[in-house]
């Protein structure tokens, strides 16, 4: 399982580098945003078949079934599986999960 996670991470990093090396049209950028948003919505609905369907062919081949794919996402990518908020912009990575932490007096804080 660790090998698969490292392979997935390597693939994602490789795609990110390749994406920066190419100019992306506005139409392609909009299509990419729509696909990412649709996959995030599928994760939120626990619709493994739909989420797996949005994965690239290489990811689908790597994991084989939507059940295995969803297990990997649930266990290793919780911010992707259940993002508090998803913002997609041209200046950031395709989907950045931004979480807001509530400050409570009982929460341990470094330096206190």
- The pLDDT tens digits for 32-65 are 989 988 998 999 899 999 999 999 999 999 999 9
Q: Say what the pLDDT of residue 83 is.
A: 78
Mark 27-43 as b/e (b = at least 16 C-beta within 10 Å).
eeeeeeeeeeeebbebb
Mark 61-74 as b/e (b = at least 16 C-beta within 10 Å).
ebbeebeebbebbe
Average pLDDT over residues 68-85: 87
Average pLDDT over residues 94-104: 40
Secondary structure of the chain: what % helix, strand, coil (to 5)?
60, 5, 35
The pTM of the full predicted model, rounded to 2 decimals, is: 0.56
> Given pLDDT bands bounded at 50, 70 and 90, which one contains residue 102?
very low
Q: Say what the pLDDT of residue 35 is.
A: 92
Q: Say what the pLDDT of residue 104 is.
A: 38
Q: How far apart are CA 90 and CA 83, in angstroms?
A: 19
pLDDT in tens, 9-40: 666 666 666 555 578 899 999 999 899 889 98
> Given pLDDT bands bounded at 50, 70 and 90, which one contains residue 1?
low
């Amino acid at each position: 399982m660790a090998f698969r996670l490292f392979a997935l991470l390597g693939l994602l990093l490789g795609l990110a580098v390749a994406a920066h090396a190419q100019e992306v049209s506005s139409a392609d950028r909009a299509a990419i945003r729509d696909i990412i948003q649709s996959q995030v919505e599928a994760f939120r609905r626990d619709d493994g078949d739909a989420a797996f369907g949005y994965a690239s062919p290489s990811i689908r081949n790597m994991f084989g079934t939507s059940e295995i794919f969803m297990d990997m996402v649930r266990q290793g990518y919780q911010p992707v599986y259940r993002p508090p908020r998803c913002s997609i912009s041209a200046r950031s990575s395709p989907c950045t999960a931004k979480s807001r932490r509530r400050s409570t007096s009982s929460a341990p804080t470094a330096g206190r």
